[in-house]
Copies of this chain bind each other. A is one copy, B any other.
Amino acid sequence: MADELNLGLLLFIPYRALETRVFDALAAAGYDDFTPAQARIFQRIGPNGTRLTELAEQAQVTKQTAGFLVDQLERAGYVRRTPDPSDARARLVQISPRGRKTIPIAAAAVAEVEAEWTAHLGPTRTKQLRQALTSLREITDPYA
């Protein structure tokens, strides 16, 4: 679809590498029933719980898809659904104790990879990379 070194591919390669590392770390810690699609939802759950519809919007999937993924997360014990006190139609998706345990593991894996990247690029270029990407988000992220 284009030439070899377009920015898209250049962005995708390290993204994939990071994602793989995080899932390997989670699997090594015994959390092997966690899929990337589930993680994209899980990541968006706020401290007091978040509604399904809001999760769907932020993850840019339909609410049916979000519901499907939350079903899986619930069955695996990572989240639970509780009634929303402010709206009887809605339910809040909340992180369960088991789910909460995965957070530091994933965070550690991310930190480890970022440290490797910093060692490779040097602190200045890493900082510039982060800045450029953050700036790019302004024109590429519909939910910035």
A residues bordering B, Cβ < 8 Å?
1-3, 5-8, 10-19, 22, 26, 39, 42-43, 102-103, 106-107, 110, 113-114, 116-117, 120-121, 125-126, 128-141
Contacts and interface: CB of A to CB of B under 8 A. Distances in A.
Contacts of A132: 121, 125-126, 128-129, 132
13 contacts: A1-B42, A1-B43, A8-B110, A10-B130, A10-B133, A11-B12, A12-B15, A14-B140, A17-B140, A120-B138, A121-B136, A125-B131, A129-B133
Given A2-B110, A117-B136, A128-B132, 13 more contacts: A1-B26, A3-B107, A7-B18, A7-B113, A7-B117, A7-B129, A7-B133, A11-B18, A13-B136, A14-B133, A14-B137, A125-B135, A129-B132
Helix, strand, loop or mixed for chain A's interface? Answer: helix
A13 B130 contact: no
A34 B111 CA distance: 37
Contacts of A10: 130, 133-134, 137
A15 B22 contact: no
A13 B13 CA distance: 13
Work out how many copies of this chain go into the complex: 2
B14 A2 contact: no
